[in-house]
Amino acid sequence: TKHFPVRRKLRDLFSNRKDAVHAVDDVNLTLRRGRVVALVGESGSGKSTIARLLAQLYPRTGGDIQLHGESTRVKGGAAFRRYCSRVQMIFQDPFASLNPTHTIRYHLTRSLKIHDNAGKSAADLDRALHELLQQVQLTPPERYLDKFPHELSGGQRQRVAIARALGAHPEALLADEPVSMLDVSIRLGVLNLLRDLRDRLNLAILYITHDIASARYFADETMVMYAGRMVEGGDSETVTQSPAHPYTKLLISSAPDPDRLAGGSDGAAGDAGNGEPPSLIHPPSGCRFHPRCPAAMDRCRTDLPVPLQIGDAPGHWAACWLYDGNEKAEVAK
């Protein structure tokens, strides 16, 4: 695969009135073209913050975001602008992300023009509009171009939002819970479309979800977040079939039904039982999961776990003291 090295080490500090909040800390993430990376966790774990940081919608207080090894640290600089056009975001609520007073033609034309992809003539623009709608399987395009968002279903609106992102000719899509507000019956179709676009357009996709079952289905690689930190990562098959971190095990055991692309709005189905996610204002000391962890040991309360290689699976790691010394320990489920 061609590399799409969006590499970063982010340390993000939000201030609210009283305290500074580390919304995400020590996050390292690399997206590559032709690959889907899932970021899985409960609501409040920092997933959406990462998407917004990567979309340069939030200012970051530390770390860096790079495109092909080039830093985007200088806001408004050439590298920053290049990054913003090549990395496009798809939001959870397709209704809120489209302007209700404008047609589909308007939304898509605007995207093509902003990114200088509209061509020179009216015929070029028309061709480009048709191609965008065909790419998201809204055909025949004439049926959709002059409609308003409210005339479309939720799934069709999300396809328009994807088409608008494609108008930028992006290298990467950041998809924040792109199907969690859609009917269960059409989620699979939208995920399959994104997978098809990954292959045909060689896109890098970051798929943010609270639903680990859908990550297994859709993503090449899965990273699990807890309380603003990455706790486990590896290829999706390994992480979901042989999870190492006690939190990942909890997420999998509380997933409602692995055969269904899990339901509910953000924070419902994917929320693991056994306690609440901790406050990010005063996160627990040591391992942030220790108050909920069935395997917690003394050192877990004081020492922050470092990522440790798990077993022989290449690239499988977990930040958990059970694996200190590279020995695969058993954890009671």
Q: Which is nearer to ligand SF4, 155 or 305 (CB)?
A: 305
Q: Which is nearer to ligand SF4, 252 or 295 (CB)?
A: 295
* Interface segment toward ligand SF4; rule CB under 6 A; list 23-31, 201-209, 210-218, 290-298: 290-298
**Residue 323's closest CA among 237, 245, 270, 259?**
245
Identify the residue among 305, 308, 310, 317 touching ligand SF4 (CB under 6 A).
305
Under the criterion CB under 5 A, does residue 49 sit at the interface with Mg ion?
no
Asked if omega into 278 is within 30° of 0 (cis), the reply is no
Q: Which does 320 bind (CB under 5 to 8 A by kind): Mg ion, ligand SF4, none?
A: ligand SF4
Q: Which does 48 bind (CB under 5 to 8 A by kind): Mg ion, ligand SF4, none?
A: Mg ion
Under the criterion CB under 6 A, does residue 322 sit at the interface with ligand SF4?
yes
The count of residues in the chain is 333
**Residue 156's closest CA among 193, 131, 197?**
193
Under the criterion CB under 6 A, does residue 250 sit at the interface with ligand SF4?
no
Under the criterion CB under 6 A, does residue 293 sit at the interface with ligand SF4?
yes
* Interface segment toward ligand SF4; rule CB under 6 A; list 83-91, 159-167, 288-296, 308-316: 288-296
Cβ distance 177 to 269 under 8 Å? Answer: no
Under the criterion CB under 5 A, does residue 48 sit at the interface with Mg ion?
yes
Under the criterion CB under 6 A, does residue 300 sit at the interface with ligand SF4?
yes
Q: Which does 35 bind (CB under 5 to 8 A by kind): Mg ion, ligand SF4, none?
A: none
State the nearest-atom distance from the C-beta of 24 to Mg ion, in Å: 12
Q: Which is nearer to ligand SF4, 213 or 227 (CB)?
A: 227
Size of the site for ligand SF4 (CB under 6 A): 14
Identify the residue among 287, 310, 316, 317 touching ligand SF4 (CB under 6 A).
287
Residue with tokens 């899932």: 38
**Residue 144's closest CA among 121, 164, 172?**
164
Burial class of residue 324 in the structure, from the number of CB atoms within 10 Å of its CB (0-12 exposed, 13-18 middle, 19+ buried): middle
Q: Which is nearer to Mg ion, 164 or 210 (CB)?
A: 210
Under the criterion CB under 6 A, does residue 226 sit at the interface with ligand SF4?
no
Identify the residue among 154, 296, 307, 309 touching ligand SF4 (CB under 6 A).
296
Which residues make up the interface to ligand SF4 (CB under 6 A)?
245-246, 287, 289-290, 293, 295-297, 300, 305, 320-322
